[in-house]
């Protein structure tokens, strides 16, 4: 099969591309640029790279020609310049759907967020929900994956936590009541995506996708600290402090340690889908636990943040 992946050189996109290549499929990667760590994909004869910010429907239609399915993995967790939630989540999804229909694509799978919903006061959540609604009303066969916290090699979670432990190992937990998460290995998510776009499972379904283990965020930080051999001093801080911190870091760090959207996410916890949706069949439910070995396999090279990561870069 021939599969197109938007956000193809990003975290989820490149892991999916690797799996598709390993199983003998052709892949069209669409992205604004090639993220560090994804350039090796372009060496494969089965990969076609298309530079696109998903704003040109005609160009998208050309890129999708001959594709059996599209995995729509593009997304952001903070706004930066022209990269707004409206443009990246809503308008880009409209363009992808329009182009997919024009190119005769049979299936679209979308990576959304577990608690994406309307009228909740969070532009991130609301824009993800609008994208879901665009796909549900597209007339295409679709699968929408409402995902929780995803981790693995090249992610933001393990990458930022480990670098922070070497840079300033002091963590302020969000609010005075601990919230839970269900970390999911990116390899497990890829298997669900593969089932949707290649095996044509989960047809016209919106499903919740979370890891098998529920734990407090504090415990997740402790596990990463243990694996890195670092100590983390943790203390609770009010939610307003984190919103202020997120606002500041979005304006000072190239990839912020925490964004405003992430603060909202952590105040709610990332365990159950909102609104409720369908569950995965047993054979597709993520089973990989957040163990020391899994954490170790996903960690970047040890060390503090570099100056380039700490300073804003337009």
Contact of 47 with 34, CB cutoff 8 Å: no
* 150-151 vs 215-216, strand pairing mode: unpaired
Mean pLDDT of the chain: 91
Size of the chain, expressed as the number of residues it contains: 314
Rounded Cα distance, 185 and 286, in Å: 8
- The answer, yes or no, to whether residue 142 has pLDDT greater than 60, is yes
Q: Structural domains in the chain?
A: 2-151+183-209+272-287 (3.40.50.720)
Cα–Cα nearest to 130, from 147, 138, 118, 119: 118
pTM assigned to the model = 0.93
* CB-based contacts of 312, cutoff 8 Å, min separation 6: 251, 252, 253, 254
Q: Residue range 123-151: average pLDDT?
A: 97
Q: Give the list of residues 6+ apart from residue 218 with CB closer than 8 angstroms, or none.
A: 173, 178, 234
**For 268-301, what is each residue's pLDDT tens digit?**
999 999 999 999 999 999 999 999 999 999 999 9
Examine the pLDDT at 36 and tell me if it is beyond 60: no
Rounded distance, CA 75 to CA 187, Å? 19
Confidence band, pLDDT 50/70/90 cuts, at residue 33: confident
Which secondary-structure segment (H or E) carries 239?
Answer: helix 239-252
């Amino acid at each position: 099969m021939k599969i197109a992946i938007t956000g193809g050189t990003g975290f989820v996109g490149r892991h999916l591309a690797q799996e598709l290549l390993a199983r003998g499929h052709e892949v069209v990667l669409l992205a604004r640029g090639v993220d560090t760590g994804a350039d090796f994909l372009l060496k494969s004869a089965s990969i076609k790279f298309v530079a696109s910010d998903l704003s040109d429907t005609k160009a998208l239609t050309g890129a999708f020609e001959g594709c059996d399915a599209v995995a729509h993995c593009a997304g952001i967790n903070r706004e930066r310049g022209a990269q707004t939630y409206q443009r990246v989540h809503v308008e880009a999804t409209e363009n992808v759907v329009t182009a997919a229909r024009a190119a005769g694509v049979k299936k679209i799978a979308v990576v959304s967020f577990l608690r994406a919903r309307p009228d909740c006061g969070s532009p991130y959540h609301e824009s993800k929900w609008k994208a879901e609604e665009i796909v549900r009303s597209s007339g295409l066969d679709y699968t929408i994956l409402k995902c929780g916290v995803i981790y693995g090699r090249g992610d933001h979670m393990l990458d930022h936590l480990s670098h922070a432990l070497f840079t300033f190992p002091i963590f302020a937990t969000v609010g005075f009541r601990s919230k839970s998460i269900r970390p999911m290995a990116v390899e497990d998510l890829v298997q669900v995506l593969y089932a949707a776009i290649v095996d044509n499972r989960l047809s016209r379904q919106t499903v919740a996708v979370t890891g098998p283990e529920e734990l407090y965020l504090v415990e997740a930080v402790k596990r990463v600290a243990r694996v890195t051999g670092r100590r983390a001093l943790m203390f609770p801080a009010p939610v307003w402090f984190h919103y202020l911190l997120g606002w500041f870091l979005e304006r000072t760090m190239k990839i912020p340690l925490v964004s405003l959207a992430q603060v909202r996410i952590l105040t709610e916890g990332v365990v159950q889908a909102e609104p409720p949706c369908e569950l995965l069949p047993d054979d597709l439910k993520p089973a990989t636990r957040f163990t020391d070995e899994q954490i170790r396999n996903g960690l970047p090279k040890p060390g503090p943040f570099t100056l380039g990561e700490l300073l804003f870069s337009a």
